[in-house]
Amino acid sequence: MVSEQRTFTTGSEPEQASRISRRGFLGRAAALGLGTTALAGILNSCGTTAFGAGKTHITYWHLLGGGDGERMLEMVQQFQHNHPEVDLEAVTLSWGTPYYTKLAMAAAGGRPPDVGILHMSRLPMYAGSGLLEPFDTSALSNNGITQDNFVDPVWQKAHYNGKLYAVPLDTHPLVMYYSTDVCQKAGLLDSNGKLQEFKGEDDVLKAFSEAKKASGGLGLAMGVGDPSTCWRVFCALYAQLNGQYFSADGTQLTFEDDKAEQVLAYISKLAKEVGSTNIDYAGAIALFSGGKAGFHWNGEWEVTTFQTQKMKFDMTLFPNVFGGQQTWADSHSLVLPRQGTVDPERRAMSIKFVSELLKSSYIWAQGGHIPTYLPVATSSEYKQLAPQSHYAAEASNVVYDPPVWFAGAASELENQAGAAFQSVITQQKTPKQGIQQFRAAMLKQLQTPKPF
């Protein structure tokens, strides 16, 4: 038996959270911009369904489509095959704001799924608003999941106020792709066909310049027309300068203009001299896959795109430009949305489900994401997976979005920061003007109350 897979497309401290009334539920939605029709659909779709007699029924929500969705379905079906005593209902929702809105509303209403996917960058908002329940670490341990199974930076990020609120499934960082054909022609490969090391502002620019000559197109294909890409690249390089965003309590803006200006000036220089100032996300991918660019900066999730196109390429760590190996990253993590009433049997099976997804994450790793579960990440099977294993060390260098409630995947911080920095990289504004735009947007967000 396989799990039921459904697909939908939809437009305080944890201890203080509880089931709220329908009126309260609707009232809290205003800050998230949902109308009553959409909310009614949320309320009506969160009920339980009669499943197999004598079986434990658990529900699982995620936002994974495309290749990620196919691999997740394979992992879910593997769990169901191993546990015929479970009725597992897996529901796929639209990526981004629609998913996160629905998950928040369902948890606030006390009728969420048993298990959900959450980008780790969203954890401060959801855990801090009482929308998640912490994991019982002893129950995880009984299923073979312990702290020493993870690299420390990712494990620590999964905590909020000292409690474990997420179990990270992967790390998906910004990495560097390179065309082996172009780089060979440019003299950038060693005798083993691997990219020679280069670091520092001048050396990176020089390598990209040589690749530009060899490709007859661009040295670096970077989707500067995509605000999310602009944010990720900025975040990586700003982290290499140890740049700060907010105070530890998330109430004050501590952004360092001089460091930000240095980063934006450098990215703008790359775009102008070895890249393009108007290329979008899809265009960058097309140029790189077509052999018209030597390098490509993007998340590792595009690996299967280039494999499918059978191009000759490899992947490596995001370069050390400003004296550090830091890079932007996020993680898909597994969470327990807050229930109105916890059923012990369903909770126990939910934790088993979480643990077995981790243990089968070699399937997940084939799509490019670095598995966080070390028994998989250090296995000979994963080490032989190329080029996915070539940037595995990046898991120790990751920098997540700032831990404020309005940060994270598809968040207002990403949208506002990406737009401000994009305007600089595309030569529409000076670095100072872009920084002013970002500052104004962040100060406005700091004055905006949390929606829960």
Q: Which residue has the tokens 């697909």?
A: 7
Which residue, among 340, 346, 406, 410, has the nearest Cα to 108 in the 3D structure? 340
Residue at 404 is within a domain: no
**Side-chain-facing half-sphere of 60: CA atoms under 13 Å:** 29
338, 195: one domain: no
The beta-carbon contacts of 357-362 under 8 Å, at least 24 apart in sequence, are 357/75, 357/79, 357/169, 358/145, 358/149, 358/167, 358/169, 359/144, 360/75, 360/78, 360/79, 361/75, 361/169, 361/170
**Confidence band for 11, pLDDT divided at 50, 70 and 90:** very low
**Confidence band for 406, pLDDT divided at 50, 70 and 90:** very high
CATH of the domain at 199: 3.40.190.10
**Confidence band for 5, pLDDT divided at 50, 70 and 90:** low
Residue at 402 is within a domain: no
77, 187: one domain: no
155, 192: one domain: no
96, 233: one domain: no
221, 360: one domain: no
335, 436: one domain: no
Residue at 283 is within a domain: yes
353, 417: one domain: no
**Helices and strands, counts by H and E, the chain:** 19, 16
Lowest mean pLDDT among 54-58, 159-163, 180-184: 54-58
Structural domains of the chain, count: 2
247, 181: one domain: yes
Residue at 451 is within a domain: no
The residue range of the domain holding 42 is: 4-169+331-391
pLDDT in tens, 87-138: 999 999 999 999 999 999 999 998 999 999 999 999 999 999 999 999 999 9
Residue 146 in tokens: 């312990």
